Structures are given as structure tokens and as C-alpha cells.
Amino acid sequence: MKIFVWLLIVYATYTTVRGDFSIGDIEDPVPESNNAGLWNVLYAKLNILLNDTAELSESIAILRQRQDDQENKVAILVHNLMEDANRLMETGLDKLKEKQEIEENRIMNLVQTISTDAKEFMTNGLEELEKRQKLQESHAKDMLESLSQSAKQSLDDSIMELQKRLTDQEANVRKLMDTLSTDVKKYMDENLTELKEKLYAEEKRVASVVKTFASDAHNSMVQKLEEVKINFQTVEERQLQQHDLSLQILENTQSGSGSGGVPLDSRSLNYHREWTTISRRLDGSVAFDLAWDDYKKGFGHVNGEFFIGLERLHALTTYGGPQELLVVLGDGLNQTRYAKYDVFQVGSEAEEYAIKELGAYSGDAGDSLRAHLGMVFVTKDRNPDNWISVRGGGWWRSQYSMCDLHSYYNPVDGIYGIFWATWNNWQYTLSRAEMMIRSKVSMCDLHSYYNPVDGIYGIFWATWNNWQYTLSRAEMMIRSKV
């Protein structure tokens, strides 16, 4: 009897697992016998067992469905792992194991609720699931390793290809550089001779131009020096007639240089250097309100009021060696003042005869001319700033004029006369004004040291070379003109 019951249970379990058996298929097996009560009890237990078995079957079906879902998830996971192998290699397996452990725990909990008689079946199913899971994990690992190896191999191949291409490019560049160097060298060799010939021709042309320019400059210098020499001769005659006041001022300005008025700075100086008057105002007998050409050439009378001329003044202060300037002033009360500058130079006509250099001041009239340093010479017909309208004669105009020795002799219509602002002021009109220059060094000295000593010039003739050029021979001779 027990054997029959167990066989029936096994059969019911098997058919339930297969899914082709239900409780309704069991007919009432109770025979009409005296054992009807026993059979009823057995039938009731069997129905209970079958119900439990059906529930177990449903759980197994759910488990299978979950297993299938899990397999799908694993497949998706493998696909994702193939797309991002490096990232999923580090995290994918841990997540998969975690999910597996969760699923195993759920299955274990479910199995514990099932009848003890079905545990062996469930255990076998779980073992099979684990085997399949392990196989899937192994397959996934193999695929990941294969993918990693493939990626590594591809990367190595790419690196090798890049290295090969780089090597080829370097070889091509070296080849190109060698070719270029050869071409450049060939080009330079081909054109070097031509360039040398052109350079030689250009050097000859430049030398010719320089020679011509030097010759012209020399001729111009000689001409200027001839003019200076002529002017010196004229001045020498004129200086004999200069008034006593100028001579007195001259002696006063020389008294600080050493005993007897002899300068101590250089023995090569000519002790008989004379002052050359370049401008003189005495009595208003000569009009100074003249044009540019008049001031350029000079005008007036040597023994009276006159102006030496801008071109001569430029030549004297430029080619006659360094020049000093002495300004002697007088007023209606017979008072006298002077201003002396140790350097004075006037530019060329191209420079509009500007005062280019004005040295250190000494004297008692004040340094009024300093405000005119760098100013150009302006006349009534050459006055872009309309200076003549407020002055009256050609002068080195400044926005803040401190002196004007060429203005009207007597003030006209409110225009200032001759003035030197640092002595009295602008409104104070002077009665006398004289400007004189002289060379700071002699133009010649044939009695100096034969060899220069302590910076003192030797024998020199300044119009031939210059002051620093020492001559080796010098002879002076005279003869009768009759």
C-alpha cells in the first residue's frame, strides 16, 4: 500500500513538472469497501500534496523564466562588455556575481519553503544553473580576454604603423634637405661670380661718387676759407678804427685769463687775436628792417652801423674754428654792460641760419640770448609766424624773446626798440649794441713746440688740414715789391 502511494506521488510530481497533469485529472479512487475512510484520508493528503507540487511547479516555472531573463541579461552584459571592455573588466564581473548571489539567496529561500521531498530536485536544478552560469562567466571572461588581446594587438599595430610612417617622413625630409642644400649650393656657386662682379662694380661706383663728393667738398671748403681770409683782411683793417669802449670791454674780459691778458690754457694761441664785429647799432643811420637777401649778403657801413651777412657769419662760425661771442651794450646814461659766450655757431641757409650752439655765459648784462638758442633767423619777407609785426628787423625770433638788437632804433607804434631784457627790461631801449666774434684758437702758429706737449698744438696752419695736424717744416720769407 505504501509503495503504491509513493509511486502515485512520484508520478504526480513528474507529470506536474512536465505540465500535463492537474488535480482535476485524479478521479475518486475510493472503492466501495470497508476501507473507504482510509482511502478518503489518503485522497485528501494526496490532493494536498498535489497542490503543493503544483505550487512548486509554478515556482520552478518562475525560476526558469528568471533564469531565461538572467541569460538574456548576461547576453546583453556580454554585448556591453564587448563595447567597453576596459571599463566592464573592472566592474562587470563584480556586479554579475552580486546579482548571482542575490538570485541564489532568493532561490535558497524559495527552496526552503518547498517540501522536503522536492529539495533534491531543486538542488539538482540549482547545480545545473550554477554550471550554466559558470560556463557563461567563463565564456564572458574568454570573450573579454580575447577583446583585450585584440585591442592591444590593434594598438600595437597602430603604433608600429605610426612609427614606420614617422621614420619614412624623416627619411623624406632628410632627402629633401639634402636636395635643397645641393640646389642652394649650386645656385650660390653659379651666382657668386656674378655677385662679386656686381659688388666690385658698385664699389667702384661708390668710390667714384665719394671721390667726386670729397673733391666738391674740398673745393667748397677752399672757397669758404678764401672768403674767410678775405673777411679777416677786411676785419683787420676795420679793427684799427673800433671805438675805445670795445677795447676796454675786451681788456676786461681777458683780465681773468692770466697776467697781461695772455690766456694760460694753450701756448699755441695767437696773442694778437682781434674781435670781428658782426653787427653794430650806434645812431639809427641804417635801416635794419630789410629783406632776407639783404641779411644774407650783409649791409651798412664798416665804420658805422652794419651787419656782416648771414652767409659770412655761418662761414666764420663753422669753418673758422670755434668762435667766441662778445655783446657790448650801452644806454642813454652812458652805462655799459657786456655778455660773453665761449662758443657761438650759426647754421647754414638750409638750416635757416639758426643759432646751433651757444656756450657758457659770462658778463654783467645777463644771459638774454640763451632763450634764442636753436631759433631760426626771420626777416620781414620770410616770417611764417609773423614775428616782424611785433619787432621790426631780422633776428633769431623766439616765442619768449629776451633780446633784439636789430629792432627799430627808436620805438615805433608801441614796438620795442633795441633791448636786452636781463639788463633793465623789454621796454628799456638801448642806444648802442655791438656783437663781435673771434676765434678761440689761432689759425696758425709756426713758433709753437715742434712736437705737441701736454695737449698744446705743435706747428700748424689751420686752413691746411686743421689745428691738430702738426707740420714738420715751416719757413717765412719776405721780398721787396720793387
Show pLDDT as tens, one digit a residue, over the chain (482 residues): 545 555 556 555 555 555 554 444 444 454 555 567 777 887 888 888 878 778 888 888 888 888 888 888 888 877 776 777 666 566 766 777 788 788 778 777 765 666 665 666 667 766 877 888 788 778 877 777 777 787 778 778 888 888 888 888 888 888 888 887 787 777 777 777 777 788 778 878 877 877 787 677 667 766 766 665 566 555 555 544 443 444 444 444 444 433 333 332 333 333 335 789 999 999 999 999 999 999 999 999 988 999 999 999 999 998 877 899 999 999 989 999 999 999 999 999 999 999 999 999 999 999 999 999 999 999 988 877 765 544 678 999 887 889 999 999 987 776 778 999 999 888 889 999 999 999 886 778 888 888 887 767 788 887 787 767 889 899 898 888 77
Which pLDDT does position 243 carry in this prediction? 39
Residue type, 256: G
Which pLDDT does position 428 carry in this prediction? 85
Question: By C-alpha distance, which of 125, 137, 136, 139 is closest to 61?
Answer: 125
Which pLDDT does position 368 carry in this prediction? 96
Which pLDDT does position 254 carry in this prediction? 43
Contact partners, residue 22, CB within 8 Å, separation at least 6: 54
SS3 category, 99: helix
- C-alpha torsion angle, residues 382, 383, 389, 394 (rounded to 10): -60
Which run of H or of E encompasses 280?
strand 276-281
Positive or negative, the CA dihedral 473, 478, 481, 482 is: negative
Question: By C-alpha distance, which of 149, 108, 69, 85 is closest to 93?
Answer: 85
Cα 360 to Cα 342: distance, rounded to the nearest angstrom? 6
Which pLDDT does position 464 carry in this prediction? 81
Helix axes of 2-18 and 36-83: crossing angle, nearest 10 degrees: 30
b/e code 300-337 from CB counts within 10 Å (16+ = b): beeeebbbbbbbbbbbbbbbbbebbbbbbbbbeeeebb
CB 304 within 8 A of CB 283: yes
Reading the block at residue 297, the C-alpha cell is: 649778403
Cα 256 to Cα 305: distance, rounded to the nearest angstrom? 30
Which pLDDT does position 13 carry in this prediction? 57
Burial (CB count within 10 angstroms: exposed 0-12, middle 13-18, buried 19+), residue 52: middle
Cα 9 to Cα 388: distance, rounded to the nearest angstrom? 145
Which pLDDT does position 52 carry in this prediction? 79
Reading the block at residue 15, the C-alpha cell is: 507529470
- End-to-end Cα spacing for the chain: 192
SS3 category, 54: helix
pTM (two decimals): 0.42
- Domains of the chain in start order, with CATH, are 276-439 (3.90.215.10)
SS3 category, 38: helix
SS3 category, 223: helix
Give me the DSSP letters along 163-211. Answer: HHHHHHHHHHHHHHHHHHHHHHHHHHHHHHHHHHHHHHHHHHHHHHHHH
Which pLDDT does position 45 carry in this prediction? 81
Question: By C-alpha distance, which of 9, 112, 86, 103 is closest to 51?
Answer: 9
- C-alpha torsion angle, residues 464, 469, 473, 478 (rounded to 10): 40
Contact partners, residue 48, CB within 8 Å, separation at least 6: none
Cα 349 to Cα 318: distance, rounded to the nearest angstrom? 12
Question: By C-alpha distance, which of 349, 332, 365 is closest to 435?
Answer: 365
CB 329 within 8 A of CB 240: no
Cα 294 → chain centroid:
52
Which pLDDT does position 370 carry in this prediction? 96
To which residue does cell 502515485 refer? Answer: 8
SS3 category, 273: coil
